[in-house]
Amino acid sequence: MVSVARILTIVRRMPILLLAIAVLAVGVASVFHAPAMAQEQQNRGWSLRDLLFPRRSEWIEPPLEVQKARPRPKARKPRAPRPPAEPEIPIVDKAPDARVVLVVGDFMAAGLAEGLDTAFAENPGVKIVVRSNGSSGFVRDDFYNWPEQIKSVIEAEKPAAVVVMLGSNDRQQMRVGDVREQPRSENWTNEYERRTEAFGGAIASTKVPFLWVGMPAFRVSKMTSDMLAFNDVYRSAAEKHGGEFVDIWDGFVDENGAFVTTGPDINGQAVRLRADDGINVSKAGKRKLAFYTEKPLMKILGLTTPGSAVTASAPAGAPVEAPAPVAAPIVVDRTVPMLLNDPALDGGSELLGAAPPTKANVNLPGEKLIIEGKAPDASPGRADDFSRPPKIPATAAADTTTAINR
């Protein structure tokens, strides 16, 4: 057993052991963290707590050399630059005698007029005038009666052509007599056809050529099917009264005939054509509406391009340019080509064995070349004709070709 004296001796020596351990810890810390300790001593005083319990930051913080060697966080990449804005089309002042294109209809007609105004912005001889009523149609004639109003509108504007786009508001009940008929019922359809034909007849009575632009597809499938039926009515009314129907359906659907919000523009680039409501059209969609209308409209106005001048008729007394004289034909001499398998070298055009050989065949050119080594005389004008002066073959003199001088 351990004696009491031995225990007291160990207890007396414990402070000395603790002090030795503490000194050893201070030495190790000073070796690895000298910079941190030096900095800490500059900032605050020293205490026994620092020897026995170093601060967490003093143990974790790496040396200055290690900190400098650390890779710095990469700087954020700059955002990609925005695509350049579309170049603005220069708008020229319209001439005082510019021909007026009158666009009538509902809110879709207003968008069509905006697209046509962009298409003809550089042409001073064409002016786009829009007389639209956004909420109008053929059903609510009590709100705006187009068959009655169109004549006065044409007389006021005196257009060279009229463009119609109307019907997107007509999917509603119609009062026929004292009864409200449901859309596309038999009585509703009969009355609707009567009103559209009255509208077409009113335009035709003014003797102004007109285009009737059809409706596009819409997001709601029921509305799309109604627009297909309406387009048949508009086509019939336009063609019956001498107008032309412009079908734009394929420009706003996919290959399966379904409604699309995004599609190709007039340059073939994928753009947004319709608004979020699936009814209105975007700026690119308005330009596409005008794209379908440009060609028949330019035909009426006598234009070759939207920016060209009128070519339908020349002013009276204008000098007529004389036609350019026709250039004299160029005579080209042709040399008869030489064929290596010419049957004339063997004395005829028949195959071997077709006829029994005769005694006269020993003098054939082919046999002379093989047996006697004498080549036949070169034909005049051939590549192996070395006669001086060269002889002109009779066939070459007679064979000429007339070249087209462009």
Instruction: Please report, for the chain, the start and end positions of each structural domain, with discontinuous segments joined by +.
Output: 16-69, 99-301, 330-403
* Whole-number pLDDT of residue 389: 74
Q: How many CA atoms, within 13 angstroms, populate the side-chain half-sphere of residue 54?
A: 20
Q: How far apart are the first and last CA of the chain?
A: 132
Euclidean distance between CA atoms 361 and 76, whole angstroms: 97
User: In the prediction, which pLDDT does 305 show?
Assistant: 81
Which of 142, 149, 271, 257 lies closest to 202, judged by CA? 149
Say what the pLDDT of residue 401 is: 47
| 23: alpha, beta or left? (left if phi > 0; alpha if psi -120 to 50) | alpha
Tokens of 171: 């999917």
What pLDDT was estimated at residue 356? Answer: 63
Q: In terms of Cα–Cα distance, which of 133, 114, 121 is closest to 283?
A: 114
Strands (E), 146-224: 161-165, 174-176, 179-181, 210-213
Residue 297: CB atoms within 10 Å: 24
What pLDDT is recorded for position 313? Answer: 42
Domain 99-301 falls in which CATH fold? Rossmann fold (3.40.50)
Residue 359, classed as helix, strand or coil, is helix
Binned average pLDDT, 10 residues per bin, the chain of 406 residues: 60 63 60 49 61 58 63 66 60 89 96 95 93 94 94 96 96 93 94 96 96 96 95 96 96 93 93 94 95 95 78 40 53 58 58 61 68 75 73 56 45
